[in-house]
Structure 1
């Protein structure tokens, strides 16, 4: 199984080629903007480093969200266009799934994983993955930071709001493990996509996952 994965959901653009359980090539560029221009040359670079033509891929994957509107659309458009051009499936991976997949297997086996993403509107989006699982059983939910539910077991926190969530939950007596998986990695997303391609996880299309409607400013006078 050979998979190209791309991500632009949060403050990083990344691309990776994954094959038979390992990342063959990967590239990343941090920054809250610029995914649309950064991703296409990254894809060309990782394919060249992996020694593969696009037509040799078995699937193309993209992180579908939650995340920023522009970065998500850039990554998804690229993944969908390439998949269509080579006649391969386009597979979606949530932000939480990608973040969780980057953690050590032992930690994922002993802790539930909570992905906490900052909406930049005073709320966070919580995606919960059970211990030992690779995908969430339910869609992400919006919460005020101070209103995050208390976990009934130790949880590992991932996502760009993980540090703030850890402080809030610890202050209320929760047992949490703050990880360093704050931004998705395309290589980890590809590993989740491989589970979907093999039928081990439920299918997910490469379509944007919006928990809240995108913030839109009307032009003056509208």
Structure 2
């Protein structure tokens, strides 16, 4: 089983190719990592092509595509989803969505309760709480950083992700390590392979965006009538 994974829901434009077989287990074939909030479109397709070429794999060999579905800002998120859907249709392979917060949680490997928070701009974060790296207990949601720890005794729930680094006074905790800050396609691919091979882990989703709020851009309304003088 050969799985191509990528995520553009945050500042990270991340691509990975992993395969799995009953005899050999999970094996990484290629990876490309970039962090650039403004160049998702320019970076994603070349990164996919480079990872496939370096692995010596042809698109027709893919068994599945896994894509981060957010939550995340509208512009970056749609780049990954449109690309995944187009490739899936062209290659006739299934496309699976994964919550981007679940990807960060999975990469942490934590086995005790914690929360993940990423940058939602407007002085807000996207967030979710977890019982462990593989089990989400609430969310995803969007709101002020204080929402992440609302109702939780102080110092009892560590927070990881870029949101914790951006708002350390609210989410930082004393001496807390907020890493991983951003999702990686390596973790996304590993999560997808785990689920597709019959293992446990966060739920695979349809390749539909988790926007959580309306996009900043709006369609123009009807033109105002001008009354001649």
Q: Same fold (TM over 0.5)?
A: yes
Q: When the two structures are superposed, what TM-score results if normalisation uses the length of structure 2?
A: 0.82
Structure 2's unaligned 5+ residue stretches are: 21-25, 225-229
Match of 2:75 among 36, 53, 70: 70
2:27 matched to 1:22?
yes
Q: Counterparts of 1:96-115 in structure 2 under 5 Å?
A: 96-103=101-108, 105=109, 108-109=110-111, 111-115=112-116
Any idea what SS the aligned residue of 2:67 has? strand
Match of 1:161 among 141, 160, 163: 163
2:194 corresponds in structure 1 to 195
Structure 1's unaligned 5+ residue stretches are: none
1:7 corresponds in structure 2 to 7
By how many angstroms is 1:126 displaced?
A: 1.4
By how many angstroms is 1:134 displaced?
A: 1.7
Any idea what SS the aligned residue of 1:40 has? helix
Structure 1 contact 27–46 (Cα < 8 Å) conserved: yes
By how many angstroms is 1:144 displaced?
A: 1.7
Any idea what SS the aligned residue of 1:65 has? coil
Q: What's the Cα RMSD here? A: 2.4
2:54 matched to 1:49?
yes
Q: When the two structures are superposed, what TM-score results if normalisation uses the length of structure 1?
A: 0.85
Count how many residue pairs are aligned between Structure 1 and Structure 2.
214
Structure 1 residue ranges (4+ consecutive) displaced by more than 6 angstroms after TM superposition: none
Of 119-128 and 147-156, deviating more is 147-156
Bigger Rg over Cα: 2
